[in-house]
Amino acid sequence: MSAHIHSETPAHPGRPGQPERRTFDTDGPGHTARIGRRLSNTLEPGDTVLVSGDLGAGKTCFIQGICAGLGVGEPVTSPTFTLVNEYDGQPGRVPVAHFDLYRLDSPDSVLDLGFDEYVDTCVCLVEWGDKFPEIMPSDAITVHIEIGEGTRRVLGITGDPGLVSDLDEEGAS
């Protein structure tokens, strides 16, 4: 099962810092998680992934895929009430901070969680990160998930070309 992939070239393809956008049409939760797992191959401490979409779109499913790829062995659930979950991957891998900003109402409430400290030392995975763009890293990878027919989803992933250019299904596990 392969995703339909579309790439949009930036206005100035050779200019550093120009984000690339990839679009994936997935056929279910497992497929959505596999794309997250594929993205995990490029993530390092200091990378932030902002995941947005309606309730039930598959934000946590996508993040579970990233965490699986980073070697997180414990169950990954949305921190809706705890606001942030911390995970350690396999030895030698990076720590993960998983945020859910749905219930927060101001950028200050996010900063009060120590968000800016996590950004420097962890891979930060942020559900509802689009709520407070003014405090998010300017180089964050953004993932917007739209609900399609049944279990189908459309994932729009935008970020540094070095991080998002190799997200095809080849080699994804």
Per-residue pLDDT of 24-43, as tens digits, reads 999 999 999 999 999 998 89
Provide the whole-model pTM.
0.85
The more confidently predicted of residues 170 and 120 is 120
pLDDT score of 114: 92
| Residue 12's pLDDT band (cuts 50, 70, 90) | very low
Evaluate whether 77 touches 128 at the Cβ level (below 8 Å): no
Give, for 99, the enclosing helix (H) or strand (E): strand 95-100
Name the average pLDDT for the chain.
Answer: 85
The pairing of strands 20-26 and 48-53 is unpaired
Sign of the C-alpha dihedral computed for residues 128, 48, 21 and 41 taken in this order: negative
Q: Which residues fall within 8 angstroms of residue 121, CB to CB, at 6 or more apart?
A: 45, 46, 95
Q: Assign 143 to helix, strand or coil.
A: strand
Evaluate whether 23 touches 154 at the Cβ level (below 8 Å): yes
* Closest-CA residue to 149 (of 13, 18, 28, 9): 28
- The CATH superfamily holding the domain 26-162 is P-loop containing nucleotide triphosphate hydrolases (3.40.50.300)
pLDDT score of 78: 87
